[in-house]
Structure 1
């Protein structure tokens, strides 16, 4: 959802400005949206990969994704 907002930010801001509602989007930082979408991308990939139609995800997929996401969070906190 954040990625959709980021992709359409200029159009959203334009529409809200025309209707005198810019304050609803004006306080949203584009750089913060970019940072959040970048950070959350691996979580979206994991969700998409582990999502199944009728069955539970294979245990062989859960552990690698868990490790990858933990490493991602660890490296993100080091960048702060």
Structure 2
């Protein structure tokens, strides 16, 4: 029996968009900050912050999940 593995990149899409400045208007190789990556970056930063805070403060539990789904669905609207 062979083992099968599955990788789900869905949760990585926001990070990829921000790190590589992917946005419809930057596909031609322009160096300016793209609209999509500019909008997603603050949400991604907030998610990473709340992900760490929930370990210390229970009131942040769940907020990182809400932000994750906002980020994951955000690139779907640009399709």
Instruction: Compute the TM-score of the two structures, normalised by the length of structure 2.
Output: 0.41
Larger Rg: 1
Structure number with the higher helix fraction is 1
TM-score, length-normalised on structure 1? 0.40
